[in-house]
Chain A
Amino acid sequence: MAPRVLDLRGLSFESGAHLLVQRALRDLAPGQRLGVTGADPALEVHLRAWCRRHGHRVRSPETEGERDARAWIERGSADLDRWADAERAGGPSAADTVATPPGHWGLAARGALVESGGPEPPFDLNHRDLVWAEIAPSLYRHAASAQWDPETAVDWGSEFALPDEIERAVVQVMTYLVENEQAALVVPARLLARIHPHFREVMQLLAVQAADEARHVDVFTRRALLSGGELGTSSVSGRESLETLLTEPDFSLASFLLSVLGEGSFLNLLEFLDTNAPDPVTRQVTALARRDEARHVAFGVAHLHHQSTLDPALRSRLRAAVERRHDSLQDTAGLNQDVFDSLVVLAAGEWTPDAIARGWEKVRKLQEEMDDGRQRRLVHLGFPGDEAAELSRLHTRNFM
């Protein structure tokens, strides 16, 4: 078969001629020839320079039969060599994840054809069992569809007037919530930067989780400032308790402490605030946050459930994590007293002895419900009942 001659007509290398040359070379084997002709005066100059750079040889027409081209390329192999041992980074769907994606896949899209070699970014959460839960893709889709706009999701203009001390209690609780939500933002944000992007649904889910917390920080702050006053107090003990969450490097243990135990307890707290909110804005912001938090807890529980079926030693590590955290917080007060008192006042609704007694009882019941919830989740993860009860009791008094 006679070698092909590509006619570039008026197209120059300054306007993309290499695309047509490259396309024509694709069909040739190394060593085969392609003639190139065209009207651009600089064609030979640029073709030579381009081919040199890309490992092809060029020569001028030598025989009469070659004169229908202005130059002849002998195809090289550099472009083929580059992709010779490329491989697919798994497949695009969640079912096509591999257990241990190589480091050099790095930021490549899952399912992309990955050139061999290259940098190996330090994604140390690089085994499926360290991060995965089958429910992650569907939870992510749900999370993405359930995003709300703080500006419009809350009726910020609704009219209400609270007695000063009730308003102060609301402000104190909001101040406490902001502090906790900030911890709940930082923890997944730190973890997601360490996850191999091959497990992108987990990365996406944690990204949305961090975005959820960002909105919570926003709406709780706005509710606190709605009456124009100052924010409440932040105690050392509360911050100490949260700090222990930030320092847990193990993905599963961090997820356990934050999502399963901490945010799990927060679900009860937010429901309590929804029920006992003295005004519509407080009710709305806590209800919105509660919906998001339920998703966070669901992922944490699903991930740990997935992992506990693969790793029988997981439960003893979870237990040790709770005990470690308990020991490090043993000498601290736990919950900020101002927060506890504010919860009682909110549940009481007024300053009579009977009302305060009722409020006190409700907060006691709240703590009981938190304890029940934690025990239920621990049993779901395979802990025997007595051990679940013991571990739940060791959970921080700061709730989160």
Chain B
Amino acid sequence: MTLLMGGVAYDPKVVTIWAGFRDWLRAHDLDYDFVLYSNYERQAEDLVAGRLDAAWNSPLAWLRCERLAAAAGRRVDPLVMRDTDRDLTSVLLVRADSGCATVADLKGRTVALGAVDSPQATLIPATFLRREGLVPGEDVTIRRFDVGVGLHGDHIGGERDAVRALLAGEVDAAAVVDANHLLFGQEGTLPPGSTRVLAQTPPYDHCNMTVVDTAPEEPVRRFGELLLSMSYADPAMRPLLDLEGLSRWEDGRTGGYGALAVAVDETGFYDAEGRVTAPEYVP
């Protein structure tokens, strides 16, 4: 029976990546296919309903699958993740000449966040502000940059718009994932030395390949084994791994989603049964 995986088409390259992986997996005797979704919510629902065996999930979609599965008496597991999904951090940026020296100094000011459903640029930073004593919407004004809603922050546009607003003086701080701060500096969106890292969140994990317990056991095991065996030295695989942004697959783990789970509860993004309860969220 075909092992069916879901993926979200946040960019046209997704087709190249998974069609390429499909050829390779089939060449290694795994009967595999994929379907693409326009947003993570329907994918999460279909996985738990057993219409998919696996789903390449954002961290937020992983949490929703966990809750939906628990409510339905099912179980989901993270099979594998990319080496680049481990131990990410988000940073709160201010302009280099800002008078703010600590997070507390942002009180009464405006902070730019990414899309409403972005773990790295909105949900985790909002919880981080709260931990630091600033309640979003009360102690600080939030200005959100909703680009690619439904894609759980996979679209980089919201973060780029947020730092542009920071540079333009429209906001006092902006939250982005560490890798994008590096990227924006290197691509020239942020001139060198124009911003300062005011604070950094503790590390958290990003995407994972979620599998559901209704999926056939042996193909799932083989799927994980094959993904873990993909080598960056293989010229046929390397361009696909580059496109997907990893140099190797690693075992899945659940320990890196705690901060996001807290954020989901604090913002009321999903309820305990995994229902979408976030206001202003229309994927």
**Chain B binds chain A:** yes
Query: Pick the contact of B185 from A14, A53, A81 — CB < 8 Å?
Result: A14
Residue of A nearest to B90 (CB): A45
Are the CB atoms of A52 and B179 closer together than 8 Å?
yes
Query: Within 8 Å of chain A (Cβ to Cβ): is B89?
Result: yes
Smallest beta-carbon distance B106→chain A, Å: 17
Encoded as 1 (CB less than 8 Å from any A CB) or 0, chain B from 229 to 251 comes to 00111011011000001011000
Are the CB atoms of B247 and A117 closer together than 8 Å?
no
Are the CB atoms of A81 and B233 closer together than 8 Å?
yes
Are the CB atoms of B235 and A85 closer together than 8 Å?
yes
The docked-state distance in angstroms from the alpha carbon of A118 to that of B236 is 8
From known contacts A45-B91, A48-B89, infer whether A82 and B232 are also in contact, taking CB-CB under 8 Å: yes
Are the CB atoms of B89 and A52 closer together than 8 Å?
no
The docked-state distance in angstroms from the alpha carbon of A53 to that of B88 is 11
Encoded as 1 (CB less than 8 Å from any A CB) or 0, chain B from 188 to 199 comes to 001011001100
Are the CB atoms of B192 and A116 closer together than 8 Å?
no
Query: Within 8 Å of chain B (Cβ to Cβ): is A50?
Result: yes
The docked-state distance in angstroms from the alpha carbon of A54 to that of B91 is 20
Query: Within 8 Å of chain B (Cβ to Cβ): is A188?
Result: no
Are the CB atoms of B232 and A78 closer together than 8 Å?
yes
From known contacts A49-B179, A81-B233, infer whether A14 and B83 are also in contact, taking CB-CB under 8 Å: no
Are the CB atoms of A81 and B231 closer together than 8 Å?
yes
Query: Within 8 Å of chain B (Cβ to Cβ): is A158?
Result: no
Within 8 A of A (CB), among B163-200: 178-179, 181-182, 185-186, 190, 192-193, 196-197, 200
Residues of B within 8 A of A12 (CB): 185, 192-193
Contact-size category for B: 20 to 34
From known contacts A12-B192, A12-B193, infer whether A52 and B238 are also in contact, taking CB-CB under 8 Å: no
The docked-state distance in angstroms from the alpha carbon of A14 to that of B190 is 9
Residues of B within 8 A of A251 (CB): none
Are the CB atoms of A49 and B181 closer together than 8 Å?
yes
Query: Pick the contact of B238 from A15, A42, A48, A82 — CB < 8 Å?
Result: A82
From known contacts A13-B185, A14-B193, infer whether A116 and B87 are also in contact, taking CB-CB under 8 Å: no
Within 8 A of A (CB), among B51-108: 83-84, 86-89, 91
Query: Pick the contact of B247 from A54, A84, A118 — CB < 8 Å?
Result: A54
Smallest beta-carbon distance B122→chain A, Å: 19
Are the CB atoms of B197 and A85 closer together than 8 Å?
no
Residues of B within 8 A of A55 (CB): 83, 232, 247-248
The docked-state distance in angstroms from the alpha carbon of A65 to that of B211 is 43
Residue of B nearest to A55 (CB): B247
Residues of B within 8 A of A42 (CB): 91, 181, 196-197
Are the CB atoms of B182 and A50 closer together than 8 Å?
yes
The docked-state distance in angstroms from the alpha carbon of A81 to that of B181 is 27
Smallest beta-carbon distance A366→chain B, Å: 59
Residues of B within 8 A of A15 (CB): 192-193
The docked-state distance in angstroms from the alpha carbon of A15 to that of B196 is 14
The docked-state distance in angstroms from the alpha carbon of A31 to that of B19 is 33
Residues of B within 8 A of A76 (CB): 247
Smallest beta-carbon distance A31→chain B, Å: 14
Query: Within 8 Å of chain B (Cβ to Cβ): is A46?
Result: yes
Residues of A within 8 A of B190 (CB): 14
Are the CB atoms of B192 and A49 closer together than 8 Å?
no
Residue of A nearest to B239 (CB): A117
Are the CB atoms of A117 and B182 closer together than 8 Å?
no
Are the CB atoms of B178 and A49 closer together than 8 Å?
yes
Are the CB atoms of B239 and A46 closer together than 8 Å?
no
Are the CB atoms of A117 and B197 closer together than 8 Å?
no
Query: Within 8 Å of chain B (Cβ to Cβ): is A41?
Result: yes
Query: Pick the contact of B182 from A13, A81, A82 — CB < 8 Å?
Result: A13
Are the CB atoms of B178 and A48 closer together than 8 Å?
yes
Smallest beta-carbon distance B98→chain A, Å: 13
Smallest beta-carbon distance B180→chain A, Å: 8
Query: Which 4 interchain pairs have the tightest Cβ spacing?
Result: A117-B235, A14-B185, A55-B247, A116-B235
Q: Hey, which bits of chain B sit against chain A, CB under 8 A?
A: 83-84, 86-89, 91, 178-179, 181-182, 185-186, 190, 192-193, 196-197, 200, 231-233, 235-236, 238-239, 245, 247-248
Q: List 30 A-B contacts (CB under 8 A).
A: A12-B192, A13-B182, A14-B186, A14-B190, A14-B192, A41-B196, A41-B197, A42-B181, A42-B196, A42-B197, A45-B91, A45-B181, A45-B182, A45-B200, A46-B181, A46-B182, A48-B87, A48-B89, A49-B181, A49-B182, A52-B88, A55-B247, A78-B247, A78-B248, A81-B231, A81-B238, A82-B233, A116-B235, A117-B235, A117-B238
Given A54-B247, A85-B233, A117-B236, 7 more A-B residue pairs with CB atoms under 8 Å apart are A12-B192, A13-B186, A14-B186, A55-B232, A78-B232, A116-B235, A117-B239
